[in-house]
A and B are shown apart, each in its own frame.
Chain A
Amino acid sequence: MKKILIVDDQATIRQLLEISLKTKDRKILLAASGEEALEIARGKKPDLVIMDLMMPGGMDGFETIERLRNDVGIADCPVLILTAKDQQAERKRAAEMKVDDYLAKPFRLEDLFSRVTHLLEGCRTWNKDSRPKSE
């Protein structure tokens, strides 16, 4: 059973992701904030994190990713950023942080499915424009 942690402050988006990604062999974990994501990740050790960038409270998506990797100790867990922010600056930062994939809202479910499947299968496919030259 693969565990997917969905972090988004908007309930509608969480519901959409939950409904579309849930299968018999997947468990969906939901967090509405960075803090909540850390807490869940500590106990449940997800296999994939789908992360929104803009969230209320002190912690945004990038910070949550840092803390998941360093504090929670799940540095190996692939991360997919799913955000309405689609500026060069965010994509650059995601690449610098070696985030595995970046998908801008709104997206087609087909795109989401293929990326999620790839990431869960261990193919750490980088988005063409966010992939750094060397790893």
Chain B
Amino acid sequence: MDGQSKETVSIRRSRKRRFRVGEKGEPGRNPFGSIHPARRTTLKPGLPADRPGKNEELFRSIFEHANAGMNTITLEGRYLQVNPAFCRFLGYSREEFSCLTVFDLTHPDDQNATRTQFAQIEAGLCQAFDYEKRFLRKDGHAVWGHVTSAWLFDESRKPLFGIGLVQDITGRKKAEADLRQALAETREARDKIDGILRSLGEGLIVVDGRQQVVLMSPSAEKLLGVACRQVVNQPVGQVFADPSIPPELRQALTEGKNGEIFEFEIAGPSGRSLLSIQARVSAVRDDAGTRGERIVVLHDVTREREISRMKTEFVTTAAHELRTPLTSIQGFSEILLERPDLNAEEYRWILGVIREQAEILGKIVSDLLDLSRIEAGTGFVLNKVPCNLAKLLRQAVSHVPRRQDLHQIEICLPADLSEVHADPAKLRQVLENILSNAVKFSPGGGRILIAGRQLGSDLRLSVADQGIGMSSDQVQRVFDKFYRVDTSNSAIEGIGLGMNIVKEIIEAHEGKVWVHSALGRGTTVNLSLPLQSRGDPAMDFLPGGMMLDMESSHREKNTDRR
């Protein structure tokens, strides 16, 4: 209360002085002179000085009834006067303000800014300020005020007091914050959708009612080889300008029904291979119906088309492969029935041919059955027993149809090779498939070398031919189902399942198979097969890997000597 009375005294002392309005050059804008009802102040310049009483009255009326908060404050931040609106704003009574300062009511985050303003007034650097700050209400809540404050100075340019107008902008600030948050949420949602579009395998193009591109996802850019920034806001025709794109697709974008599907082929990004693309056009709908916008979803169906093409070819090839031995069986059995003049030797020979061809037929059928098992996901049932690899190899070699004079098959195995724990029938099938490939793809003949050895706890086996070999592209696809390396040379038999079955059987044995090849320089198929199944109880009785390692080095020496 002491402070308050001192202020009153100091103001009273200055009553005779002439005040200037702080705003330079626009003195008439601020009608505030003395706000103390007991005081008389002459404004210079300002409202006519001969009617001071009227000014004060007018000001008082504004002060008391204004909807905005008004106050007068000292340079120390003490409130000289506050109006009812300011009291309502901060929740204090007029009396309570007498022992509060501006700084008591300022939010901690705005303390510095407020003190800076006061320091600038004191230093004479400015005469008014206008800023937004947070106040602390009596109930502890923070509220936003827009403060416009003008200062009165004495003739020695010493600040006397400030007149403040405080507008409650809490609502506006909240709206602003809400807007900011809404914006951030929108941005986040947009980023999310962007991310989804970006990671979407399917290409997406959005076209507006005027047939202009609104949006194009990165996948669509990649599929069509068109950059989004080149076509955005441009007619969609530019995107589908490629002559291989059916004109119906462009038409569908203007008048298409929902869900129309088009398929076309265009040159891939490298320009090397064709891509099969499926485009589905849908109209964008909202509650009010269609909006004229259309979405085109592009789906790369190259792989699917390729597989379906290979399947069709497979059926044709399988039919052909079945026909060949069937021709012999049918023809020779007819001869047996129709020709009573055959001698016993001829008779036996023909029966031998029939049996051999029936075996070939059986092999094709079992390949087909294996395929259906692989397709069904049932896999192979393995009857694993210790197998003698040398014996299996000899059996396989004898079953591979070949011309003895053209193809020499050599087997190089260490004499003391351990038995391998495997399904003998399946392993023989693997060996036969690999060997018959080696023969098939050496149409000019040559040596086929089978080499085996023990490497750690694995059996390593390689089958190397000197045939036509494969390109790196062909090597990559050699284990694909239905894939036949040289489809242009269809005289090479086979239904394109052999190597796929090899891989499935070897993997069922927890082994690995891989291929090295070069065009014109032959192919080597490598197998790695655990001698004992992993997790096989027999393993536990072996004294670690030590003995196996010793044996393997011993054996490798043996191999070298050979």
- Report A's interface with B, CB cutoff 8 A: 9-10, 12-13, 15-16, 19-20, 54-57, 60, 84-87, 104-109
Contacts and interface: CB of A to CB of B under 8 A. Distances in A.
B327 A54 contact: no
B323 A12 contact: no
24 contacts: A10-B324, A12-B328, A13-B327, A16-B335, A19-B350, A20-B334, A54-B320, A55-B491, A56-B491, A56-B492, A57-B491, A60-B491, A84-B323, A84-B324, A86-B323, A104-B323, A105-B324, A105-B326, A107-B327, A107-B331, A108-B330, A108-B334, A109-B335, A109-B338
- Kindly state the interface size class of chain B when it binds its partner: 20 to 34
B491 A9 contact: yes
B328 A16 contact: yes
B490 interface: yes
A19 B350 CA distance: 10
A84 B327 contact: yes
B323 A109 contact: no
B324 A15 contact: no
Interface string B309-353: 000000010001001101111111011001000000000001001
Given A13-B328, A56-B489, 11 more contacts: A12-B356, A12-B357, A16-B327, A56-B491, A60-B491, A84-B320, A84-B324, A106-B327, A107-B327, A107-B331, A108-B330
B331 A54 contact: no
Nearest to A105: B327
Contacts of B328: 12-13, 16
Contact of A56 (B330, B332, B356, B443): B443
Q: Which of A12, A86, A108 has the most CB atoms of chain B within a 10 A radius of its CB?
A: A12
Interface string B22-34: 0000000000000
A10 B356 CA distance: 13
A9 B503 CA distance: 30
B326 A106 contact: yes
Nearest to B332: A16
B320 A85 contact: yes
Nearest to A54: B491
A18 to B, nearest CB: 11
Given A84-B327, A109-B331, A12 B353 contact: yes
Contacts of A105: 323-324, 326-327
Contacts of A13: 324, 327-328
Interface string B262-278: 00000000000000000
Nearest to B492: A56
A98 to B, nearest CB: 24
A13 B332 CA distance: 10
A57 B443 contact: yes
Q: Which of A13, A84, A85 has the most CB atoms of chain B within a 10 A radius of its CB?
A: A84
Contacts of A108: 330, 334
Given A85-B320, A87-B316, A15 B353 contact: yes
A89 B338 CA distance: 35
Contacts of B489: 56
A54 B490 contact: yes
Contacts of B492: 56
Contacts of B357: 12
Contacts of B316: 87
4 closest Cβ contacts across the A-B interface? Answer: A106-B327, A84-B323, A105-B327, A56-B491
A106 B443 contact: no
A109 B334 contact: yes
Contacts of A9: 491
A12 B491 CA distance: 15
Contacts of B330: 106-108
Interface in B457-505: 489-492
B27 to A, nearest CB: 103
A105 B334 CA distance: 14
Q: Which of A9, A10, A16, A55 has the most CB atoms of chain B within a 10 A radius of its CB?
A: A16
A54 B494 CA distance: 13
Given A84-B324, A105-B327, A106-B330, A20 B335 contact: yes
A6 B489 CA distance: 21
Nearest to A10: B324
A57 B338 CA distance: 36
A123 B335 CA distance: 26
Nearest to B350: A19
A104 B327 CA distance: 9
Nearest to A15: B353
Interface string B184-198: 000000000000000
Given A13-B324, A56-B492, A20 B443 contact: no
A60 B489 CA distance: 9
Nearest to B353: A12
A106 B335 CA distance: 14
Contacts of B338: 109
A55 to B, nearest CB: 5
Contacts of A60: 491
A12 to B, nearest CB: 5
A18 B324 CA distance: 16
A106 B491 contact: no
Contacts of B323: 84, 86, 104-106
A117 B529 CA distance: 58
Nearest to B330: A106
B331 A106 contact: yes
A106 B443 CA distance: 25
Interface string B384-412: 00000000000000000000000000000
A108 B326 CA distance: 11
Interface in B483-531: 489-492
Contacts of B350: 19
A20 B330 CA distance: 12
Nearest to A107: B327
A15 B349 CA distance: 11
